[in-house]
Structure 1
Amino acid sequence: MNKKNIIKSFIDFFSSKGYISSINNNVFNNLSQDILFNNSGIAGLFHYFDQNNVLNLNNKNIYATVQKCVRISGKHNDINEIGDSKTHATSFYMLGTFMPIVGDLQKTIIDIYSFLKLFLEEKNMYITIHPECQRALEVWLKLIPRSKIRYDISNTWQMSNQYGYKGYCTEIMYNYLGCEVEVWNIVIIDKFIENGIETDLDHIKIDTGGGLERLNMILNDDDSIYDDESFWSVFSVLAHHNDSILSREKNIIIDHIMTIDAIVFSNIHVSNVGRGYILRKLMRRLFLYFYKYNLQIEKIVYSMNNILLSPLDTMSILFDEYALFINLISVFQKYINSKKVQVINNKKILTVENIVYLHGTLGVSYYLVELLSINEKDIVIENKNVDYYDLLKENNVVSNKYNFSHIIQYIEKNSFSQKEFNYDIMSQNTGLIIFNNEKQVFQCNINDEYYVLNVDNFVYPTSGGQEYDRGTVIFNNQKVFSITNVINYNNINIIFVKCLLSFSFESSSSFLLQVDEHYREVHSINHTLTHIIGTICQKYFFNTIHQISSKICYNCCKISFYFGNEFLLTSEKLLYLLKKEISKNLILKRRKMYFYDAVKNNYKYLNKENYKIFVNVVEIYDKDTNQLLFKDICGGTHSVNFKDYIKSLQLTVLKINKHAYSINYGIK
């Protein structure tokens, strides 16, 4: 029995009992903004429980759901339990049944108890109820002997002290390996609180839930929810990489990746507020272990590929944030080793002034400082009784970490033309660009304004908000783009580009990048300007590859191919399209070599037993100049699927949206 089987059995069983059944992997409810994440089954359906919504008055439906939940904030926060607890996780699936308008307690209890008896031994089950919940006692006495029912005064539930529903609970417990495990909780909602005043409801409402992972643990005789066979591959990778990783640390790593994946799957982006901030905090906590043990993100995520909801997007965001994390670690270490930090008895003492400077000026948040002080024993935070979070908030100290929502608001406030967001990541994580890619031929009109977000780790040697001189892009010997502003905003380089004359792109066009003297040694600016050309010329991307690679790309960036709905183009088809688009005399060369030799710099990502596998290296050259235009590692005399190579080599596959993929090839 595995989790998929349990879910199927749950859906089938309750559908047969008249429940409307569904599975929801989204971790927040768009219709309820009161909580950051769905922390229980009812959170995903709470709009049906709203007694003020007239649409619910005649809703007699009953529901059974499998709801992905996250508990890392607010009232329900299990993050400090992770690692030591055998039954807690920051994300999990809640199996639940609901009667939002008129509850039938007897049907609910009979249905749930009957379902659990399909899997669990009845002799090991017993019930807890609140001493004053007579209606629950009456129903249970029809099903089980009185000796299996216990009173528990803690069996109450309410949303908050001031507002929301309230009721007694009855729980189904299970004796497992000498411990009492709660397998199901039934909440009988009979009161509503408003401004602290309770009123009785006309009809009870029913909210029930049982953790899928706990049930799965019992059914498979596991000692912990983390002993599930779906985690064996990642445990193996962690043990092989570093056998000194503690068991609790492995659990934390797995738990946090699972939760990050669930949040990313729900289309939540990293930011400094709300859900995005919780996502960032969780990643920072995870990265301490990556940093401590020098773990490889791609190898670990790849080992969890079959159990993650969105592995490619998760890997992408982990890469981005880890680069920023390492940069912040470097900034932090440089600062604490400076004369600005007092050292007493070989301990580095961080004062309130140090904390404020780290958080507000250097962008190292207090949360990260806390984590690092725990990890590095020679760092001590002075005055731990001070609530630094309130202190920083009251003094309006804002950490200089990038926030996509702030950037977008900034753009909208300044009336930049927002046509379409297309997120593309190249070698140094550049590229949120606004551009129009709906037309068959891209037409640039005079005064069109474009905006490029560069999230390189490069930081200008001045404070945020500083403007810099301009640069230009030359097209067919004419100045067509002017860089109107380059602003370092919250440690992000925002490049504003304005079109100086109307023109369309031709397949035979050539481009020349001209950058003012200020930018000559600024790698990230050159890289971003290259990206401007490459992205705007999407219609003629093959031509762009040729022109840019001959002038710039060997020095500073990777090439991005857009394949639309096609996941991969064969080398032969690519050769044909290249010939057609740029009218060049091209030749394709194949040569066989060992896998190890083909990817020397990435050998650490490979399984050792694969080092003697043969692969075919495909290269496309300009026959006249013998210039390498394209290089790829394709299927050879091996059995490994090419998609597996994409996940483990220097090729990075990133899902841009539901209809497009970008495959980045490193040409050196």
Structure 2
Amino acid sequence: MKSQEVRKQFLEFFKSKNHSIVASAPMVLKDDPTLMFTNAGMVPFKEYFLGNATPKNNRLADTQKCLRVSGKHNDLEEVGKDTYHHTMFEMLGNWSFGDYFKEEAIAWAWEFLTEVVKVDKDSIYVSIFEGDESEGLKRDQEAYNIWTKHIDESRIINGNKKDNFWEMGAQGPCGPCSEIHVDIRSAEEKAAVDGKSLVNMDHPLVIEIWNLVFMQYNRLANGSLTKLPNQHVDTGMGFERLCMVLQGVQSNYDTDVFTPLMREVETITSSKCGETEETDIAVRVIADHVRAVSFSIADGQLPSNTGAGYVIRRILRRAIRYGFTFLDTKEPFIYKLVSTLVNQMGDAFPELEAQKNLITNVIREEEASFLRTLDKGLILLDNVIANTKGDTVSGDKAFELYDTYGFPIDLTALILSEKNLKLDEAGFDAALKEQKDRSRAATKVETDDWNILQEDAEEEFVGYDTLEASVKITRYRKTESKKDGELYQLVFNLTPFYPEGGGQVGDKGYLETPSGEVVYIIDTKKENNLIIHLAKNLPRSTEGTFKAVVDVKQRSRTAANHTATHLLHQGLRKILGTHVEQKGSMVHSRNLRFDFSHFSKVTIEELKEVEDFVNARIRENLTLEEQRGIPYDQAIQEGAIALFGEKYGDAVRTIRFGKSMELCGGTHVKNTGEIWHFKITSEGAVASGIRRIEAITSDAAKDYFTSETEAYNQVKATLKGNQDPVKAITSLLDENAALKKQVEALIKEKAQNLSGDLAKEFVDIDGVDFLAKKVDLDAGAIKDLAFKLGENKDNVFLLFGTEQNGKALLSCYISKELVASKNLNAGTVVRELGKHIQGGGGGQPFFATAGGKNPAGIDAAIAEVKNYLV
């Protein structure tokens, strides 16, 4: 059965069981403070499990794209080395929110596997939770009894808490689970060893394919368990593993999910799987990783140096490194696999087809950049090796290469082994652990349980219509972190505060008690569909009615900037072309940032056109036309622009200003005239094919023009007279350039005159013409002087020191003949002498320089350099 058919059969089966089929949510999470990526099929439904929202249908099914490369669920280092771990994978799932429970979940899982896709019943084993005395949890006898209706009890296995009790996190819904395992070994292997003994033993051919989780408890902050008011079913089946079982192969990578990509890797790199283990692993790694990176970019997450972007960059660089080391690829090639991936999965995930060009260009640029990093890293590693005494390279030095320059540690270890050197792995691991500990300490948040004041209270956002409301606190809790200290999170029955989301910052304001006590709201966020208000303290009493007031000035400025991003998007599409798509935004009260797809620098003329377009819409005083709660499909049919990578519900909100119409949950001005003016402050590249514009509006624009006018007046006053400032500055620049040329000529003449005098100062040391001296010349003149003095000799060793603008510079010249005959290296000389000037440097063996911040150390360096010849 082809993989496309497997996916289709699963969804059709659960549709026949009255499940609504929902599209995969984005793999990259944007508004969840607890996760970077969707790492399990249940993540998009957390708000339903927590009771913070109600689904339209209590039965859902889907195939969810997931990524596991960081945190608790981290499979990255296993990927490619075994046959069943992946970074990006699909999770087939069916869900019940307070509807059916164990009886139906088990019966349908058995029916689908044995009757629909015809998995051999005699190859299946199932596990149930055996209980845990320390938790006061009994054996899941209910699940056991249900399973005995379908499978022989000899194939039912007791599982411990680690394998058969599933938890969302340190807190939250959890419960026992029942895993389904399939033994795909040969008949001979099955006869030799009972498959039951291999379940959960990491055997590559006795694998878990489906986990049925029965959520019936809630884990509190103190570790105790309470019963959930409603019982839920959360199941997840590994799509790639199921395909392996149904296609009769013994590796996920031998299924048609991966074989087209792997064949393309072999073709492009002229390699062949099956010849060496290194080649097999490299091809598997590349096939897996290009999927993860492509889906992430399609969801709006570009490779970068921070957060989720860093994880994606790390995955891609791992693939590049495997190609570089084991497939001998020195040019970008992974981007060529995108077409194959789109052909294979574009029907099931249309975002791949829509973002194909962007994915291709971003990966190609990242490859080229990292290959340059590898070249630079190889040079740096050579320097580390040259300065290593003994046969072991310092773990700190290896970590510096890894952390500062992005040079992979496994490549460092490989190169060292080829040179018969060792790596201080313990030192590297210690440096890495120290960095991770610092990072965890900085981001760790300790969260208390919610104090519930009103059970089943529904929260309503009223902030589109009012900035002030009478509210009640329905729940609150305390959090503590190194970054923010002690904070309180409050939830109201209704709120005018807009929570951070869609690129827009959260509102600030205050809460006032009837007695006049004020509690300041310093930020507003959204977590699992709850709007959470952050405060440094609680009111003296949390009972009663409070007046919630939003900071009007911040909200109005933010609204102006948000509306401006919509008009900017419209202007870019009109002036640059309809290929322009929003790829990210940040809307503050002080400024706005807008990322968009475009494959060349935006010219000054184009930026002026865009500015003029937006300001024309502002002057038209366009009125906000808003629709709330309309069906998603209707909004798209009416022309609203939806953003790739955003999660939209069945009902959406549309924002229209003239011909600009987008799906948006943010706050906006009632009339574009409120924006006052739009001014672009910068434009530049973020990544290949992605540009960024930063701009200001409203009061910030007024302040900008006031500041610019003051600066202009200061320039005119400094120039004096009534002449045109532009002409006056141009004249000064021309005059300065002419004077600079004269100075350069004088310095050159000085160096030439000096060369004659210095030629008389050479000292013979064991047949070498040696000179070390402090000179009053710039770097360029010193280089010219050194080469002038050495041009007619093959035995010159020079060191010059100079002080320029409070900084020190050492320059070393060694005749190439001496480099070869006496094993001297100018780069080594300046690096070691650089300690005297509190700096460092390098260069070629015959000429190198070092800069430092301690000019007083020049004399010590000049005094010591003679030691290289005696």
Q: How has the CA–CA distance of structure 1 residues 392 and 222 changed in structure 2, closer, same or farther, with 3 Å as cutoff?
A: closer
Secondary structure in 1 matching 2:26: coil
Corresponding residue of 1:64: 61
Mapping 1:246-395, distance limit 5 Å: 246-292=279-325, 293-294=328-329, 296-307=333-344, 309=352, 310-338=355-383, 342-345=387-390, 349-352=393-396, 355-356=399-400, 358=401, 363-365=404-406, 368-378=407-417, 380-381=423-424, 383-388=427-432, 390-391=434-435, 394=438
C-alpha distance in structure 2 between counterparts of 1:78 and 1:209, whole Å: 17
Write out aligned runs for 1:422-441 (5 A). 422-426=596-600, 437=610
In structure 2, the CA distance between the partners of 1:289 and 1:128, relative to structure 1 (3 Å rule), is same
AA partner of residue 20 (structure 1): S
Question: Aligned partners of 1:110, 1:414: CA distance in 2, in Å?
Answer: 55
* Match of residue 193 from structure 1: 219
> CA contact under 8 A between 2:297 and 2:359: conserved in structure 1?
yes
| Pair 1:453 & 2:679 matched | no
CA 1:517–1:182 in 2, change beyond 3 Å: closer, same or farther? farther
8 Å Cα contact 1:129/1:155 also seen in 2: no
Please tell me whether the aligned partners of residues 155 and 168 of structure 1 are also in contact (alpha carbons under 8 angstroms).
no
How many residue pairs match? The answer is 446
Matched, 1:180 2:411: no
Q: CA deviation at 1:454?
A: 4.7
1:167, CA displacement in angstroms?
1.4
- Runs (5+) with no aligned partner, structure 2: 131-138, 187-204, 273-277, 346-351, 443-502, 505-582, 618-675, 689-707, 712-724, 727-733, 739-870
In structure 2, what is the Cα distance between the partners aligned to 1:181 and 1:214? 8
Instruction: Give a deviation string over 1:246-267, Cα, whole Å, max 9, x none.
Output: 1121111100001111111111
In structure 1, what is the equivalent of residue 348 of structure 2? none
Q: Distance in 2 between matches of 1:22 and 1:142?
A: 31
TM-score between the two structures when normalised by the length of structure 2 = 0.46
- Partner Cα distance (1:87, 1:351) in 2: 32
- Give the superposition deviation at 1:235: 2.9
Tell me, yes or no, if the aligned pair for 1:183 and 1:210 is still in contact at 8 Å: yes
Residue deviations 1:625-668, cap 9 Å, x none?
xxxxxxxxxxxxxxxxxxxxxxxxxxxxxxxxxxxxxxxxxxxx
Q: Assess, with a 3 A threshold, how the Cα gap between structure 1 residues 269 and 152 changes in structure 2: closer, same or farther.
A: same
Distance 2:112 2:319 in 1: 37
Letter of the 1:322 counterpart: E
Judged with a 3 Å threshold, the aligned counterparts in structure 2 of structure 1 residues 330 and 265 are, in CA distance, closer, same or farther, namely same
Alpha-carbon deviations, 1:415-460, whole Å to 9, x = none? 5675x54432349x999x9776486799999994442325799xxx
Number of the residue aligned with 1:23 = 23
Give the counterpart letter for 1:124 in structure 2. S
The higher relative CO (CA closer than 8 Å, separation ≥ 6) is in 1
1:573-606 Cα deviation digits (max 9, x unpaired): xxxxxxxxxxxxxxxxxxxxxxxxxxxxxxxxxx
* Structure-2 residue corresponding to 1:243: 271
Indicate the SS of the match to 2:344: coil
Cα distance between partner residues in 2 of 1:230 and 1:171: 23
Contact 2:19 2:60 in 1 (8 A): yes
Per-residue deviation, 1:201: 2.1
Deviation at 1:12, TM superposition (A): 1.3
Q: Distance in 1 between matches of 2:678 and 2:64?
A: 49
CA distance, structure 2, for counterparts of residue 4 and residue 138 of structure 1: 35
What is the rounded CA distance, in whole Å, between the counterparts of 1:291 and 1:127 in structure 2? Answer: 43
Counterparts of 2:216 and 2:207, CA distance in 1 = 26
CA shift at 1:70, angstroms? 0.8
Deviations 1:31-51 (A, max 9, x none): 643221111111121121113
Cα distance in 1 between the residues matched to 2:684 and 2:402? 23
Q: Which residue of 1 aligns with 2:5?
A: 5
Matches within 5 A, 1:458-607: none
Shift of 1:14: 0.7
Which whole-Å CA distance do the structure 1 matches of 2:94 and 2:169 have between them?
A: 25
Which residue identity is paired with 1:242?
Answer: S
Q: Which moved more, 1:371-380 or 1:176-185?
A: 371-380
Which whole-Å CA distance do the structure 1 matches of 2:295 and 2:584 have between them? Answer: 26
Gap regions ≥5 residues in structure 1? 399-403, 458-480, 485-499, 502-513, 519-668
In the TM superposition, residue 76 of structure 1 has moved relative to its aligned partner by 1.1
* CA distance in structure 1 between the partners assigned to 2:37 and 2:266 by the alignment: 32
> What secondary structure does 1:208 align onto?
strand
Query: In structure 1, what is the Cα distance between the partners aligned to 2:598 and 2:124?
Result: 53
Following superposition, the deviation at residue 93 of structure 1 comes to: 0.9
For residues 364 and 678 of structure 2, the distance between their equivalents in structure 1, rounded to whole angstroms, comes to 36
What SS does structure 2 have at the residue aligned with 1:306? Answer: helix
- C-alpha separation between the residues in 1 aligned to 2:125 and 2:85? 21
Provide the secondary structure at the position in 2 that maps to 1:246. helix
Aligned partner letter, 1:140:
W
Query: Per the alignment, do residues 146 and 321 of structure 1 end up closer, same or farther by CA in structure 2, a change over 3 Å counting?
Result: same
Match in the other structure for 1:590? none
* Distance of 1:166 and 1:416 partners within structure 2: 43
Aligned-pair identity in percent equals 22
CA–CA distance in structure 2, aligned partners of residues 409 and 259 of structure 1: 20
SS in 2 for 1:12: helix
**What is the aligned partner in structure 2 of residue 91 from structure 1?**
88
The CA deviation at 1:371 is 4.0
Contact 1:231 1:304 in 2 (8 A): no
Q: How far apart, in 2, do the equivalents of 1:188 and 1:152 lie?
A: 14
Partner SS state of residue 372, structure 2: helix
Q: Distance in 1 between matches of 2:241 and 2:364?
A: 31
Contact residue 416 and residue 449 of structure 1 kept, 8 A: no
Q: C-alpha offsets along residues 451-495 of structure 1, whole Å, 9 cap, x if unaligned?
A: 2325799xxxxxxxxxxxxxxxxxxxxxxx9xx9xxxxxxxxxxx
Q: Secondary structure at the match of 1:177?
A: coil
- 1:326 Cα deviation after fit: 2.4
Cα deviation, residue 315, structure 1: 1.7
Q: Could you tell me which residue of structure 2 aligns to residue 167 of structure 1?
A: 175
Distance 1:3 1:409, change over 3 A: closer
- Taking a change above 3 Å as real, the CA distance of residues 135 and 28 of structure 1, as seen in their structure-2 partners, is farther
| CA distance in 2 between partners of 1:155 and 1:441 (Å) | 57
Q: CA deviation at 1:11?
A: 1.5
The alpha-carbon distance between structure 1 residues 352 and 435, as it changes in their structure 2 partners (threshold 3 A), is: farther
Pairwise CA distance, 1:351: 5.0
| TM-score, reference length from structure 1 | 0.59
Work out the CA distance in 2 between the residues paired with 1:165 and 1:317: 39
**Aligned counterpart, 1:123:** 122
Paired residues of 1:170 and 1:187 also in contact (CA < 8 A): yes
The code of the aligned residue for 2:214 comes to: I
Return the alpha-carbon distance in structure 1 between the equivalents of residues 607 and 411 of structure 2: 37
> What one-letter code is carried by the residue in structure 2 that aligns with 1:364?
Y
Change (3 A) 1:201 1:59: farther
Say if 2:262 and 2:283, in contact at 8 Å, map to a contact too: yes
In the alignment, what sits opposite 1:46? 46
| Distance change in 2, residues 1:166/1:324 (3 Å) | same
Look up the equivalent residue of 2:76 and give its one-letter code: I
Larger radius of gyration: 2
CA 1:352–1:345 in structure 2 vs 1: closer, same or farther (change >3 Å)? closer
Q: Is 1:105 the counterpart of 2:102 in the alignment?
A: yes
Distance 1:197 1:284 in 2: 42
SS of the counterpart of 1:167? strand
C-alpha deviation, 1:15, in angstroms: 1.0
CA distance, structure 1, for counterparts of residue 171 and residue 107 of structure 2: 31
SS in 2 for 1:299: helix
Task: Sort the Cα spacing of 1:340 and 1:181 in 2 relative to 1 into closer, same or farther, 3 A.
Answer: closer
